[in-house]
Chains A and B, each alone.
Chain A
Amino acid sequence: SDWTLLVHGGAGSMTRDTIDAAQDAAARAGLNAALDAGSAVLAGGGSAVDAVEAAVRVLEDDPAFNAGRGAVFTHEGHIELDAAIMDGATRDAGAVAAVTRTRNPVTLARHVMVDSPHVLLAGKGADAFSAEQGIEQIDPAWFATPERRRQLDDMKARKTGSFDVDLKYG
């Protein structure tokens, strides 16, 4: 077999100049775990779309990254998650925006791709579709971390806008 897998895992404002040893180790461990998950699928003859879903689910569950658990807060103090998936063999695609109760939004995006006639679902409707599909639901508190709350509080204290890309919390 011949397969390849790449992953990226954004951790907000941390760069090589600002990251500490614990954060560095956590990020690297998370990326390695995602590679393990995706590689296992591909090495077993699985499809590319199965592999990217598996890898992203691991990163969504890892609080080191801004997705799923560990995602950033909105201005109002909520967490709204976005995800997309696309199969290059068929150019089928699915996506969700501003979902709040699905543990793994990438899996919900895949259900949009496979089990709906649509490409992009958003907000309450997407949450409802997720529940109807039997996808794992979770209390939104599960996504929250103290560090992301601190970053929101810091941003509000600075009275800067959410589109200050130099601050780059997200």
Chain B
Amino acid sequence: TVGAVARDAAGHVAAATSTGGLTGKRWGRIGDAPLIGAGTYADDRAAAVSATGAGEYFIREGVAHEICARVRLAGAPLREAADAVMAETRELGGRGGVIVTGPDGETVYSFTTPGMYRGRASAEGARSVGIY
């Protein structure tokens, strides 16, 4: 699965996710990536989120929307919201990760499994790529 989140100069956020799914998937199985609110969500009032991981668990948790809801309704910081939702998803049995950016430009990686490939860039010239 691949994805991106961005915050533009006007302060708007967006998210996109794309995937082939699981090797050997059958019966028309669909994961979380194309389900708005599970693997992908963006809301200027909260954040933009793109997810990767065990999709069935991310669907049940509604991971991307749940992170945004905690930010918007409870005032949770992005890091706290993302880590809490990923922890709850892990309790269900699902592992994976999210990338998150807020309308103020804050960025967060949160993941509960190895093999997470990440990149980050900003207007200030910050640039990093890593395999975690």
Residues of A whose CB lies within 8 Å of any CB of B are 1-17, 19, 24, 27-28, 31-32, 34-35, 38-39, 42-43, 45-49, 51-53, 55-56, 59-60, 65-68, 70-76, 79-89, 91, 93, 95-98, 105-106, 109, 119-120, 122-123, 143, 148, 151-152, 155-156, 161-163, 165, 167-170
Contact = CB atoms under 8 A, between A and B. Distances in A.
Contact of A11 (B5, B7, B115): B115
A13 B115 CA distance: 7
Interface in B15-65: 15-26, 28-31, 33-36, 39-44, 47-48, 50, 52, 54, 56
Interface of B: 1-10, 12-26, 28-31, 33-36, 39-44, 47-48, 50, 52, 54, 56, 94-95, 97, 99-101, 103, 105-107, 109, 114-123, 127, 129, 131-132
B127 A35 contact: yes
Contact of B16 (A32, A109, A148, A155): A109
B132 to A, nearest CB: 8
A56 B123 contact: no
**A interface secondary structure, majority:** mixed
Contacts of A95: 34-36, 40
9 contacts: A4-B122, A15-B114, A31-B129, A45-B9, A48-B6, A52-B16, A74-B21, A98-B28, A165-B54
Contacts of B123: 1-4, 42-43
A7 to B, nearest CB: 4
Given A19-B131, A84-B33, A6 B18 contact: no
Contact of A91 (B42, B100, B105): B42
B2 to A, nearest CB: 4
Contacts of B131: 15-16, 19, 24, 27-28
Contacts of B18: 56, 59-60, 67-68, 81-84, 105-106, 109
Contact of B3 (A7, A74, A79): A7
A1 B123 CA distance: 7
Given A32-B129, A72-B21, A66 B2 contact: yes
B23 A65 contact: no
A156 B25 CA distance: 11
B121 A5 contact: yes
Nearest to A76: B26
Contact of A155 (B23, B44, B122): B23
